[in-house]
A and B are shown apart, each in its own frame.
Chain A
Amino acid sequence: MQATATESAVQTRSSGRAKGRFNKFRQYRMLFLMLVPGFIFLLVFNYAPMYGLVLAFKDFRITSGILDSPWVGMKHFNKVFDDPHFYVVLKNTILISVYKLIFGFPAPIAFALLLNEMRRPLFRKWVQTVSYLPHFISWIVLAGIFTTLFSLDGPVNALVKAFGHAPVVFMADERYFRSILVGTSVFQSFGWSSIIFLAAIAGVDPQLHEAAIMDGAGRFRRMIQITLPMLAPVISIMLILSMGTILDAGFDQIFNMYNAQVYGVADVIDTYVYRLGLINADYSYSTAVGMFKSVVALILLLSVNRLVKAVGGSDHTLW
Chain B
Amino acid sequence: MVYRKTRLGMAADLCLYAAMTLLMLITLYPFWMQLVTSLESGASVYTTRLMFVPEQVSLEAYRLAFHFKPLWTGYLNTIVRTALGVLCMLIVTSLTAYPLSKKDLPFNRAFTGFLLLTMLFTGGLIPNYLLIRELHLLNSVWALVLPGTLSAFNALVMRNFFRSIPESLEESARVDGAGYLRIFISVILPLSAPVLATLALWVGVGHWNAWFDSLIYIADGHKQVLQVVLRKILIENDTADMNAMIQKMNTHSEYTDRQLQAAVVMLSIVPMLVVYPFAQKYFVQGVMVGAIKG
Which of A24, A155, A302, A318 has its CB near the most chain B CB atoms (within 10 A)? Answer: A155
Q: How far is the CA of A155 from the CA of B23 in the complex (A)?
A: 17
- Interface presence of B177 (CB below 8 A): no
Contact yes or no, A25 B16, CB < 8 A: no
A53 touches B150 (CB 8 A): no
User: Which residues of chain A from 34 to 58 have any CB-CB distance to chain B below 8 Å in the complex?
Assistant: 34-35, 37-39, 41-42, 44-53, 55
Interface string of B54-93 (1 = CB under 8 A from A): 0000000000000000000000000000000000000111
Check if A316 sits within 8 Å of B293, measured CB to CB.
Answer: yes
| Binary contact track B115-154/A, C-beta < 8 Å → 1, others 0 | 1101111111111111100110000000000110110000
Determine if B48 and A154 form an interchain contact, defined as CB atoms under 8 angstroms apart. yes
Contacting residue for B294 out of A192, A290, A293, A319, CB 8 A: A319
Minimum distance in angstroms from A208 CB to a CB of chain B: 11
Say whether B96 contacts A35, CB under 8 Å. yes
Q: Is A145 at the interface (CB under 8 A from chain B)? A: yes
Q: Given the interface contacts A41-B150, A148-B33, A153-B46, does A50 sit within 8 Å of B181 by beta carbon? A: no
Contact A273 B125 (CB under 8 A): yes
Q: Given A28-B106, A41-B150, A45-B147, A130 and B124 touching (CB < 8 A)?
A: no
Task: Tell me if B123 and A35 are in contact (CB < 8 A).
Answer: no
Interface residues of A in 18-74 (CB under 8 A from B): 21, 24-25, 28, 30-32, 34-35, 37-39, 41-42, 44-53, 55, 65-66
A252 proximity list for chain B (CB < 8 A): 211-212
Q: In the complex, are the beta carbons of A53 and B124 less than 8 A apart? A: yes
Q: Which of A111, A114, A148, A255 contacts B258 (CB 8 A)?
A: A148
Q: Find chain B residues with CB under 8 A from A127 CB.
A: 20, 23-24
Q: Which residues on the B side are within 8 Å of A24 (C-beta)?
A: 106
Residues of B within 8 A of A206 (CB): 1
Stretch of B164-172, B190-198, B244-252, B280-288 that contacts chain A: B280-288
Assess whether A163 is interfacial by the CB under 8 Å rule: no
User: Does B12 have its Cβ within 8 Å of any Cβ on chain A?
Assistant: yes
Contact A210 B1 (CB under 8 A): yes
Q: Is chain A's interface secondary structure helix, strand, loop, or mixed overall? A: helix
- What total count of A-B pairs have CB within 8 Å? 263
A79 to chain B minimum Cβ distance, whole angstroms, is 15
Residues on B with beta carbons closer than 8 Å to the beta carbon of A52: 123, 126-128, 130-131
**Smallest Cβ distance from B196 to chain A, in angstroms?**
16
Taking a contact as CB atoms closer than 8 A, the residue among A139, A146, A157 that contacts B48 in the complex is A157
Contacts of B47 in A (CB 8 A): 153
In angstroms, how far is the closest chain B Cβ from the Cβ of A31? 4
Chain B contact surface mostly? helix
Indicate if A291 sits at the interface (CB-CB under 8 A): yes
- Interface residues contributed by chain A, number (CB under 8 Å): 104
Select B209's contact among A138, A144, A191, beta carbons within 8 Å: A138
**Which residues in A have their C-beta under 8 angstroms from that of B272?**
136-137
Given A35-B111, A42-B115, A129-B277: A144 and B261 within 8 A (CB)? yes
**Roughly how many angstroms separate A164 CA and B149 CA in the complex, as a whole number?**
54
Given B19, B20, B265, which contacts A145 in the complex, CB threshold below 8 Å? B265
In the complex, how many angstroms separate the beta carbon of A267 from the nearest chain B beta carbon? 15
**Residue B234 is within 8 A (CB to CB) of chain A in the complex:** yes
Q: What chain A residues lie within 8 Å of B93 (beta carbons)?
A: 38
Q: A132-B280, A199-B288 are in contact. Are A140 and B231 (CB under 8 A)?
A: yes
Query: Contacts of B24 on A, CB cut-off 8 Å?
Result: 126-127, 130-131
Instruction: Determine whether the beta carbon of A256 is less than 8 Å from that of B231.
Output: yes
User: Does B255 count as interface, using CB distance less than 8 angstroms?
Assistant: no
Task: State whether B150 touches A50 (Cβ < 8 A).
Answer: no
Q: Which residue of A lies closest to B94 (CB)?
A: A34
The answer to whether A278 and B50 touch across the interface, beta carbons within 8 angstroms, is no
Contacting residues of chain A (123-168) with chain B, CB-CB under 8 angstroms = 123, 126-127, 129-134, 136-149, 152-155, 157-159, 161, 167
Question: Which residues does chain B contribute within 8 Å of A147, judged by CB atoms?
Answer: 234-235
Asked whether any CB of chain B lies closer than 8 Å to the CB of A112, the reply is no
Whole-angstrom CA separation of A294 from B119 in the bound complex: 11
A219 an interface residue at 8 Å Cβ cutoff?
yes
The 24 sampled A-B contact pairs (Cβ below 8 Å) are A28-B180, A30-B180, A31-B102, A34-B180, A44-B131, A47-B118, A50-B122, A50-B123, A118-B20, A127-B20, A130-B28, A134-B27, A136-B272, A141-B265, A145-B30, A155-B50, A158-B48, A187-B27, A199-B291, A255-B212, A278-B216, A286-B126, A287-B126, A319-B119
Among all A-B residue pairs, the 7 with the closest Cβ atoms: A49-B123, A52-B127, A144-B234, A38-B96, A290-B124, A138-B209, A31-B99
Give me 9 other A-B pairs in contact (C-beta within 8 A), A37-B92, A118-B16 excluded.
Answer: A30-B180, A38-B93, A53-B124, A66-B130, A143-B235, A144-B230, A191-B27, A294-B122, A314-B293
